[in-house]
Chains A and B, each alone.
Chain A
Amino acid sequence: MSSDVILVIVIVTALAFDFTNGFHDTANVVATSISTGAARPQVAIGMAALLNFVGAFISISVAATVANDVVNAEVITPTIVFAGLIGAIAWNLATWYFGLPSSSSHALIGGVVGSAVAAAGFDAVLADGLVGKVLVPALVAPVLAFLVAGLGIGIVYRVVGKQRPGIVTRGFKYGQIVSGGLLALAHGTNDAQKTMGIITLALIANGSLGADADPPLWVIVSAAAAIALGTYSGGWRIIKTTGTRIIKMDAAQGFSSQGAGASVILASTHFGFPLSTTHVINGGVMGAGAGKRLSAVRWGVAGNIVTAWVLTLPAAAAIGALTYGVTRIFGTGALGPVVVSLMAISLIVAAFARRAQQGAPVPASSG
């Protein structure tokens, strides 16, 4: 009974995390299409939310990685998963509050690894999976998107450079409808699967699923719905602030950056690599800018990504471990997670209230 209560708390928390992931990432997914005028904001956001939902159904490789290849499911309990989630949410909240760069995906993995180590020692971590499927791809993917987008825009300018600009711009705006759609699909499939993986891990830990089980359909549908709703809700905030976070680029650059981001995320998803989709999308945008003019690269954004790489995993792991320690003060039952949940909700409300008084925070990256 007590573990079922914890399981319900984990599932609700994971879906809330998924919703905020979509909410944060709308800007990254639709900004390029809106910036170049390829799509009206309402259309771009509606399409992104719909394709986020669809994307969650096309693969379960990333979910399998999160559920089976990062921590040893045999020693994991629902309380460990809960503490990991709280570690990720707390780190995201702290970075949002202080305007520091972050990555929701890295925070999620870091939080679960930290709480697992606190509960069962380093044997709970599957080092091969963590390094080979999370850490190395996290470093490679944004650089790859940067290079592919830079190379792509070089080819575009070489092929259509002497054509009349009107036809080229119109053509790439049409192309962006497809490349933007693919990017939203890619975002949905990689990010929603992390939540599916976490819920599946909790179900395995609770004994509700066998070891190495795939996510049940209800988990896939609920994770897909949560990220799509988050994307749609976040979109209306973006419409109100259009222009503040939008990067100016031409339609060919938009097409190239979106194509690079989508191909890297989709290929990585196929092989089960959980990525920071925001980092990959930013890598593509910077690559398309650099391909036209090196000075167009926003080195500040690049610095933020590096900072997020360095900070997020260990910080979220530390908070996850601390959270696990706090829950154990109240024993092994449901009381610990309930108390921590109430504390977390109070902190979130307080942070939002304080931010509302102070004004809008500096946006930190997620995804």
Chain B
Amino acid sequence: MIATLVEGKALLETVIASVVASIGVTFAFSVAIWGVGRFADLSRNERPLAAAGAAAVASVALACVGAALVAGIIVMTSN
């Protein structure tokens, strides 16, 4: 019974980790692509300040993706 409960907890943690990692990275990467797209459009329309803002959003989103990947690898290899 105790063993089953422990596996249930591990399974729940697997579900949460999978959802958070996959959805989080997908969202962040989508935001990065949105930022790049907006940067291109705004630069073409000669709105440098707004373009810089979009580029900043894209950079932060990409940094989040990179950080998530590094964190994932550290967690995996630390087991």
A binds B: yes
A interface residues, Cβ below 8 angstroms from B = 58-61, 128-129, 131-133, 136-137, 140, 144-145, 148-149, 151-152, 155-156, 159-160, 163-164, 167-168, 171-172, 175, 178, 182, 189, 255-256, 259-260, 262-264, 266-273
Q: Which residues of chain A come closer than 8 Å to B40, judged between CB atoms?
A: 164, 167
CB < 8 Å neighbour of A259 from B13, B22, B33:
B22
CB < 8 Å neighbour of B8 from A132, A255, A267:
A132
Q: Which residues of chain B come closer than 8 Å to A260, judged between CB atoms?
A: 18, 22
Q: Can you identify 29 A-B contacts, CB atoms within 8 angstroms?
A: A58-B76, A60-B79, A128-B7, A137-B14, A144-B14, A148-B22, A152-B23, A155-B23, A159-B30, A160-B33, A160-B37, A163-B33, A167-B37, A171-B29, A171-B33, A171-B36, A171-B37, A172-B33, A175-B29, A178-B69, A189-B76, A256-B26, A260-B18, A263-B17, A266-B21, A270-B75, A270-B79, A272-B10, A273-B14
B interface residues, Cβ below 8 angstroms from A = 3-4, 6-8, 10-11, 13-15, 17-19, 21-23, 25-27, 29-34, 36-38, 40-41, 69, 72-73, 75-77, 79
A262: nearest residue on chain B (CB-CB)? B22
Contact B30 A269 (CB under 8 A): no
Alpha-carbon distance between A172 and B38 when the two chains are bound, in angstroms: 16
Alpha-carbon distance between A145 and B37 when the two chains are bound, in angstroms: 29
The 6 closest A-B pairs by CB, nearest first: A132-B7, A171-B33, A163-B37, A159-B30, A263-B22, A128-B3
- Are A152 and B26 also in contact (CB < 8 A) when A160-B34, A163-B33 are? yes
Alpha-carbon distance between A180 and B40 when the two chains are bound, in angstroms: 27
CB < 8 Å neighbour of A160 from B14, B30, B69, B77:
B30
B4: nearest residue on chain A (CB-CB)? A132
Q: Which residues of chain A come closer than 8 Å to B26, judged between CB atoms?
A: 152, 155-156, 255-256, 259
CB < 8 Å neighbour of B77 from A59, A140, A263:
A59
- Residue among A129, A132, A189, A263 having the largest count of chain B Cβ atoms under 10 Å: A263
- Since A128-B7, A140-B11 are in contact, a sample of 19 more A-B pairs with Cβ atoms closer than 8 Å, ordered by chain A residue number, is A128-B3, A140-B15, A148-B18, A151-B19, A152-B26, A159-B27, A159-B33, A160-B37, A164-B37, A167-B37, A171-B29, A171-B33, A255-B29, A263-B17, A264-B14, A267-B17, A270-B17, A273-B11, A273-B14
Q: Which residues of chain A come closer than 8 Å to B14, judged between CB atoms?
A: 137, 140, 144, 264, 267-268, 270-271, 273
A60: nearest residue on chain B (CB-CB)? B79
B40: nearest residue on chain A (CB-CB)? A167
CB < 8 Å neighbour of A132 from B3, B18, B19, B37:
B3
Q: In the complex, how many angstroms separate the beta carbon of B50 from the nearest chain A beta carbon?
A: 15
Alpha-carbon distance between A133 and B10 when the two chains are bound, in angstroms: 9
Contact B33 A58 (CB under 8 A): no
- Are A266 and B76 also in contact (CB < 8 A) when A140-B15, A148-B19, A255-B26 are? yes
Q: In the complex, how many angstroms separate the beta carbon of A341 from the nearest chain B beta carbon?
A: 35
Alpha-carbon distance between A132 and B9 when the two chains are bound, in angstroms: 10
Q: Which residues of chain B come closer than 8 Å to A189, judged between CB atoms?
A: 76
Q: Which residues of chain B come closer than 8 Å to A271, judged between CB atoms?
A: 10-11, 13-14
Q: In the complex, how many angstroms separate the beta carbon of A198 from the nearest chain B beta carbon?
A: 20
B19: nearest residue on chain A (CB-CB)? A148
CB < 8 Å neighbour of B76 from A151, A156, A270:
A270
Q: Which residues of chain B come closer than 8 Å to A58, judged between CB atoms?
A: 73, 76-77
Alpha-carbon distance between A268 and B69 when the two chains are bound, in angstroms: 16
